A and B are shown apart, each in its own frame.
Chain A
Amino acid sequence: MDAHPASVPPVSAAPRAGIRLPGLGVGLGRGMVVLYLSLMVMLPLAAVLDESLSGGVGAFWDSVTGAQSMAALKLTVICSLIVVAINAVFGTIIAWVLVRDEFPGKGAVNALIDLPFALPTIVAGLTLLTLYGADSPFGLDIAFTRVAIVVALCFITLPFVTRAVQPLLMEMDQQMEEAATSLGAGGFTVFRRIIFPNLLPGIIAGVMLAFARALGEYGSLILISGNIPFDTEVSSVFIRSQIESGNVAGASAVSVVLLAIALALLIGVSFFARMGDRGREPGILSRTVNRVIARSQIGGGP
């Protein structure tokens, strides 16, 4: 995996493109990279795919469309949709306040936005349970309900839209808004006709990423959702329960479905970002999306 050469003889002629390894070194390096990725990532995933199809396509389909698995999938998708809708609104408002508003402590608030990304998911679940569980100081006991799932997912995915919209908002030319205002447009018209269309690509990208993350979320839900089948059991928890009860093929089938949706969203969002970057400072949306993706993974996976 060590691609920079430890014992490569000095290069006599000046290479034209910076550090270049001699032919053998490149081949060796590539071999190591491919081997590492195969062992660490591809083989495990191949095993899941293989296991999911171990009983044939029919069994795969039956596992996915089984009553409990379908209930979990539906719950996961519906909760995730509600959560990204909430995120789209509040994420944009928060981004707006952080970019256009001035108030003491703004820097600290801005840094804290990433906390859900940095906080281990189990800690996130525990903190939410402490505040909104049986001992809630507000008297708000939502533990083991679907509302709790929505709240936990809102917490976990909070930074996505904000972080995707912020750079676009900073980038925006305020002269357009001033021109519109001087021509008599009211605040809401300016927002609807000028600001919103400019921010929309960021909102959509943020929503797609948040959705992908919410679909696979596990750690923050395990304590607060109660994991009641047909009621508050999301797909990732369903997979866990199937592994524990020995139905590994069923667990694999649902895993493959989750994997396929998340992968489609990830490919979709980078494609969408490249489209959105046309006619804009080169690459701002793509760069933002890459940054948000990388950041979002610290605390614990999608």
Chain B
Amino acid sequence: MTSSTPAKWGLRSLALGYLGLLLLAPVAMIFYKTFEHGLGPPIEAMTSPDALHAIWLTLLMVAVAVPLNTVFGVGCALLLVRHKWKGNALIDGIINLPFAISPIVVGLSLFLLYGNDGWFGPTLSEWGIQVLFSTPGMILASVFVSLPFVVRETVPVLQEIGTEQEQAASTLGANVWQTFWRVTLPAIRWGVAYGIVLTTARVLGEFGAVTIVSGSISGETETLPLFVAKAFEQFNEEAAYAGAIVLALLALTTLLLMSVGGRKAKAQGGPIPITGDTAISTSNTKEGS
């Protein structure tokens, strides 16, 4: 449409104004609030024992949930794409379930399984295993909410690459294991990497589900998002903002990795993750940035 100049400027300022007020201003504000009195206070707030423990615990969630869901995701994607089965549609639907569920409901569901009156809670506590209000419960919540990403990102790439190279490899005598490591995995690596980035970001930021299962005990079962919420509620604004900045920087890093990953996959001529950043990278190239 050859829109007239006033219309063009009108739409442009409307779009950018909306984004500015809703997106940019709040984020700029939190950076300003955090560093209002220099670097000292936020660094001090982030090196308190409770904050350090929250960071450590958050990283622990990532260290357990991400590898678990990555191995599951790649394996499950291979089965879904390469082995036709009646049950595949059902598995596919179940994998989508965590997308449809409020994090509060995830928390509630784990509470019902592992609480004192839960299905497994009493038995497990007889064995001396405490799931709720401790690390295992929080890991279960993290695994639940971040389960779909690697599968969802790997399936389309697997479909895209086809099977010719794998066939060639096995004709030349490679076994299944060698074919996977030398042919399949290199071909799908950007899709998997993309899924891992999304999984990590999700686990880092999870709040609703973890808040129910953790009990939010400072210095014990508090991840960084819980730390932020609690600090704010206790009027410790400096700590809340500092924690929020750490999480916001991680989110910005995620965005960066997402667009760099998308472009890199393109540049290498490898399979572009279909679920990946095609929209962004196309318009970026158009603009020449």
A residues within 8 Å of B by Cβ? 1-6, 8-11, 14-21, 25-26, 29-30, 32-34, 36-37, 40-45, 47-48, 50-51, 90, 93-94, 96-103, 106-116, 118-124, 126-128, 130-131, 137, 151, 154-155, 158, 163, 166-167, 170, 174, 177-178, 181, 187, 190-191, 195, 212, 215-219, 222-223, 236, 239-240, 243, 248, 251-252, 255, 258-259, 262-263, 265-266, 287, 290-291, 293-302
Contact = CB atoms under 8 A, between A and B. Distances in A.
A36 B108 contact: no
Nearest to B233: A223
Contacts of A110: 279-280, 283-284
> Per DSSP, are chain A's interface residues mostly helix, strand or loop, or mixed?
helix
Contact of A107 (B96, B101, B283): B283
B198 A115 contact: no
A114 B258 contact: yes
A103 to B, nearest CB: 6
Contacts of A239: 102, 104-105, 108
A248 B225 contact: no
A17 B112 contact: no
A106 B99 contact: no
B27 A115 contact: yes
B162 to A, nearest CB: 7
A215 B102 contact: yes
Interface in B178-213: 179-180, 184, 198, 201-202, 204-209, 211-212
Interface string B18-52: 11001111110110010000000000000000000
Contacts of B282: 170
B127 interface: no
Interface of B: 1-4, 7-8, 11-12, 14-16, 18-19, 22-27, 29-30, 33, 68, 71-72, 74-76, 78-79, 82-83, 85, 87, 91, 94-113, 118-119, 140, 143-145, 147-149, 152-153, 156, 162-164, 166-167, 170-171, 173, 175-177, 179-180, 184, 198, 201-202, 204-209, 211-212, 225, 228-229, 232-233, 240-241, 244, 247-248, 251-252, 254-256, 258-259, 274-276, 278-280, 282-284, 287, 289
30 contacts: A1-B76, A3-B74, A4-B75, A15-B167, A15-B170, A17-B163, A20-B176, A29-B78, A37-B94, A47-B119, A48-B112, A50-B112, A90-B18, A93-B11, A99-B283, A100-B1, A102-B287, A107-B287, A109-B19, A111-B256, A113-B19, A126-B244, A219-B207, A248-B108, A252-B112, A259-B101, A294-B148, A297-B198, A302-B101, A302-B102
Contacts of A30: 79, 85, 87
Contact of A43 (B1, B3, B76, B113): B113
A124 to B, nearest CB: 8
B26 A128 contact: yes
Q: Can you list the 4 inter-chain pairs with the closest CB atoms, starting with the nearest?
A: A216-B102, A120-B205, A18-B163, A3-B75
